[in-house]
Amino acid sequence: MILTVTPNPCVDKTVFIDELRVGSFMRSPRYTCIPGGKGTNVSRAVKNLGRDTRALVVVGGHPGAHVVEMLERQDGVECVPVWVGDQTRTITTVLEEKIHRQTAFFEPGPRVTPEEERKFEETFCAALVGARVVTFNGTVPDPAIKGIYARLIRHAADAGAITVLDSHGPELGLGIDAAPFMCKPNIAEAEELVGYALGTDKSRLEAVDWFHAKGVKLVVLSLGKSGAIVSDGQTRLRAVPPEIQEVNPVGSGDALVAGFAIGLMEAMSLHDTVRLAIAAGAANAMSWDIGHFDRTLVENLSAQVQISLC
């Protein structure tokens, strides 16, 4: 089973309109609403790929209850909620269908008290039972708990689980101190951490080595539609997805993480894991809905992923 951890989930609402007129009242004929916040996307993708997953989410108030209900009823994902007194955020995206432009509004996440942080840690340790792979996804809602990933990664490793960290900013930097098995930064996230621009292949490979030097065994530097650089410390691969009709690449990194989590759980070869993960990322980008791709599509795309040594 793959346990995903989302400390800062959200009600992820998309309102579809023709064209945004700033300063006016706009009516929308259609909207979608899904549980968001990265780990939830990973769980949805894992479920769509036919594997078992459980989603630990830190949630509060009615929006928090909505996140849990959507995950369980819409996505069929078993949820482990950690309830906090403050309210889960809603992210509202306005999608202008005429010009295909997105504008998103992020509310702040809930505050987390020291007692709630302890409850988070305890609930996590209990949820580890049966988890082969644990993914830590996204940011934390309150800077006061920015160091929590490092503690949870150590608990998971002590329990014999494989750990995957996909975050950015202080959460990523502090989480790496606990040497997660795998990290999946995109270029911007890696640049923020290593402190130099990653415009060239040479600098990208240096950044990969930077992660290895921190004790990360499997480094996946994702490059959007150009694919990814994957390194297990011995083999360095460049993986290029097939050309697809891009509709919405948001959440492709989460789909990529889902593919890697499955490969690690099932001890697939590095090549097969990369094929599955890159195909999942591409499949996600082909529709608006995050993590809602078809398993057969992923299988077809995986045969078209190009892998070479770098």
Q: Which positions lie near ligand ATP, rule CB under 6 A?
A: 186, 222-225, 227-228, 241, 244, 246, 249-254, 256, 278, 281-282, 285
Partner touching 163 among Mg ion, ligand ATP, none, CB below 5 to 8 Å by kind = none
Give the DSSP letter string of 190-212: HHHHH-S---SHHHHHHHHHHHH
Pairing of strands 53-59, 30-36: unpaired
Partner touching 139 among ligand ATP, Mg ion, none, CB below 5 to 8 Å by kind = none
**Measured from the CB of residue 189, what is the shortest distance to ligand ATP in angstroms?**
7
* Phi and psi torsions of 216, nearest 5°: -80, 125
**Measured from the CB of residue 93, what is the shortest distance to ligand ATP in angstroms?**
12
Residues 241-260 that bind Mg ion (CB under 5 A): 253
The residue number whose beta carbon is nearest to ligand ATP equals 253
Count of residues touching Mg ion (by CB under 5 A): 1
Give the DSSP letter string of 214-230: TT-SEEEEE-GGG-EEE
Question: In this structure, what DSSP letter does residue 305 have?
Answer: -
> CA 307 to CA 289: how far, in whole Å?
27
Partner touching 63 among Mg ion, ligand ATP, none, CB below 5 to 8 Å by kind = none
Contact between residue 136 and residue 152 where contact means Cβ atoms under 8 Å apart: yes
**Measured from the CB of residue 298, what is the shortest distance to ligand ATP in angstroms?**
12
| C-beta closer to Mg ion: residue 147 or 224 | 224
Partner touching 278 among Mg ion, ligand ATP, none, CB below 5 to 8 Å by kind = ligand ATP
Tell me the helix, strand and coil percentages in the chain, rounded to 5. 40, 25, 35
| C-beta closer to ligand ATP: residue 37 or 60 | 37
Half-sphere exposure of 84 (CA within 13 A, CB side): 27
Number of H helices, E strands in the chain: 10, 14
**Measured from the CB of residue 259, what is the shortest distance to Mg ion in angstroms?**
13
| C-beta closer to ligand ATP: residue 111 or 271 | 271
| C-beta closer to ligand ATP: residue 84 or 237 | 237
